[in-house]
Amino acid sequence: MIQAVRDEQGRLNVLKSYAILDTPRETDFDQLVRLAAQICEAPVAAITFVDERRQWFKAVTGLDMAGTDRAIAFCAHAIAGTGLFEVPDAYEDPRFAHNPLVTGTTGIRFYAGMPLVSPDGFALGTIAVIDRVPRTLTEAQTAALSTLARQVMVALEYRRLARLFDSAVTDYQHAHGDPYPVHACPSDQASHTGRRGRCDADVSWSKNGSVLPVHYLALYQARAAGQNSLRFVDLDMQTAIATRAALEADMRLGLERGEFLLHYQPQVDARGDPTGAEALVRWRHPRRGLVSPAEFIPLAEETGLILPLGQWVLESACTHLASWGARPGTAGLTMAVNVSARQFRHPDFVRQVLAVLERTGADPRRLKLELTEGLLIDNVEETVARMIALKAQGVGFSLDDFGTGYSSLAYLKRLPLDQLKIDQSFVRDVLAGGNDATIARTIITLGKSLGLAVIAEGVETEAQRDFLAQHQCDAFQGYLFSRPLAADLIDAFMGARTR
């Protein structure tokens, strides 16, 4: 069954705005698929877009096909997310084992698709590689495919901008009969007199009305403001993309230079005694100071940097956990570590976790991996198998941000979980007496019925804690007890409360 896409109509509207469907082949896109095939060492590569009924191939190498029905398209699964969608062996995947693209002459065994995500956040299609033998992508290949996906979107943005810009210039020429010296400027500097918009930042254009490629980002949001008039909007898009590219480059350097660090937020029981902590990654940028995880984690997910970053977080957290284990007063504490879906689905994830535990000497029974609900909607069999393999070594699991995603009782009953975590969005308004209070109570009751512990995050007031404790919530985390602390401070916090 294909996962539903959120706001499918909005996605289709954005796809339509690019006017890419059923267009002729273009050299830029053909070169990108050939490059993808070469880098990923795959016989087939394609750039595809998904509309209401079909998957359409804008560019393809190694396969004589113009498109497929959406119902059987691997790409239709990939656009439900924004990160890599990988099928190591379609024969072994119940979603695809009986797919005619797998069982027929196409013979797909391996698929990896990187969504083509618009600036609005909609996945329009993929750049994908296909093989006829089971395999996976390396981290370097995944990162390269992510870069190629962004290049596809750059090409799409340029096509859209050129089309809009040419249309506006043509309207002006039809009205005035002469070429118009095109200008671009920030919107707060633009002035409009009658039909003509003016500003001082010149942008060249050729006699046929085409915008020079070097200027397409600055003019991304350019629109015709009506017949016989032009309006040029601000240059925020150029700044945003430049900032994003710089941030990605800085992240790569930051990993090499050791700029990332962990803070630890205590978790306490109903008596207020510490039971452990959650490891939270922070980035101390040399120029920007502390960068918010909300800014760099999504970028890490998209670019594949979440894999080396997640590995570093796990290693550092387990090293700290091992140091607790060496002291009698803190030996019983647990360490919660967030694991991204992309990290968890890496073919070597189980081996990597066990190797870290062995290297650091941390007690597996004191390590708690926090998974998100997104893992429950895709390849449940594989998720369960990996969890069981780690639980056999003593590793525990908590379902993070419970109640915000797609969990169902059918999934929960199958997963070897130890704990549910109530998302802070429900805790925040738990005293208001509305749906949040009902949801919080329901999660606690559900957890108890399944034999799972329940912890609430984002607890900031005693009244919130009292309400949750009254309904038998087992543990708490939030500013009421402590903000996230640096390594030396968390040790002092734990030492003072576990003697």
Position 323 scores a pLDDT of: 97
Q: Check residue 464 and give its pLDDT.
A: 96
Task: Say whether both 361 and 302 belong to one domain.
Answer: yes
Integer angstrom CA distances of residue 370 from 25, 282, 426: 45, 17, 18
Contact 413/434 with Cβ under 8 angstroms? no
- Asked if the structure places residue 152 within a domain, the reply is no
Domain count, the chain: 3
Enclosing domain of residue 225:
157-234
Same domain, 174 and 312: no
pTM: 0.58
Domain boundary among 137, 166, 199: 137
Residue 20 lies in a domain: yes
**pLDDT given for residue 3 in this prediction:** 52
Cα dist from 4 to 78, 117, 207, whole Å: 11, 16, 46
Pair 226, 317 in one domain: no
Give the per-residue pLDDT at 380: 80
Beta 396-402 vs 274-285: how paired, if at all? unpaired
Task: Tell me, yes or no, whether 408 and 287 share the same domain.
Answer: yes
Do the beta carbons of residue 113 and residue 126 sit within 8 Å?
yes
2: in domain? no
What's the token pair of residue 56? 């359409």
**Cα–Cα dist 78/114, whole Å:** 7
Q: Are residues 459 and 402 in the same domain?
A: yes
Question: Residue 82: CB partners within 8 Å, gap ≥ 6?
Answer: 115, 117, 121, 123, 301, 302
- Phi, psi (degrees; rounded to nearest 5) at 345: -85, -5
Residues 101 and 26 in one domain: yes
Instruction: Give strand pairing partners of 127.
Output: 47, 114
Return averaged pLDDT per consecutive 10 residues of the chain, 499 residues in all. 67 90 87 91 95 94 91 93 91 93 93 91 94 93 90 83 60 53 40 33 37 38 37 48 75 92 96 96 92 88 87 97 94 96 89 97 97 73 92 95 62 87 91 86 91 95 95 96 95 83
The predicted pLDDT at position 298 comes to: 85
Same domain, 291 and 406: yes
3-class secondary-structure state, position 86: strand
Exposure of 249 in the CB half-sphere (CA atoms within 13 A): 6
- What is the domain-level CATH number for residue 54? 3.30.450.40
In a domain, 470, yes or no: yes
- What torsion do the CA atoms of 102, 341, 33, 133 make, to the nearest 10 degrees? -40
Q: What pLDDT does residue 162 have?
A: 64
Q: Please give the angle made by the CA atoms of 411, 412 and 415, to the nearest 5 degrees.
A: 90
Is 149 domain-assigned?
no
**Residue at 146 is within a domain:** no
For strand 419-422 and strand 453-457, is the pairing parallel, antiparallel, or unpaired?
parallel
Distance CA 11, CA 336 (A): 36
Q: Are residues 129 and 167 in the same domain?
A: no
The pLDDT assigned to 185 comes to 40
475: nearest Cα among 238, 287, 275: 275
Query: Is residue 250 domain-shared with residue 227, that is, in the same domain?
Result: no
- The torsion defined by the Cα of 489, 495, 498 and 499, in degrees rounded to 10, comes to -160
Are 362 and 493 in a shared domain?
yes
Tell me, yes or no, whether 374 and 434 share the same domain.
Answer: yes
The answer to the question of residue 465 being in a domain is yes
Please indicate, yes or no, whether residues 230 and 132 belong to a single structural domain of this protein.
no
* CATH code, domain with 386: 3.20.20.450
Q: Which of 234, 263, 297 is the last residue of a domain?
A: 234
Sign of CA dihedral 123, 128, 295, 428: positive
Residue that terminates a domain, selected from 201, 234, 267: 234
216 domain residue, yes or no: yes
| Residues 6+ positions from 48 with CB-CB distance below 8 Å | 55, 56, 57, 58, 67, 73, 75, 113, 125, 126, 127, 128
- Residue 22's Cβ-count burial label (10 Å; 0-12, 13-18, 19+) is exposed
Question: For the purposes of burial, counting CB atoms within 10 Å of the CB of 77, is it exposed (0-12), middle (13-18) or buried (19 or more)?
Answer: buried
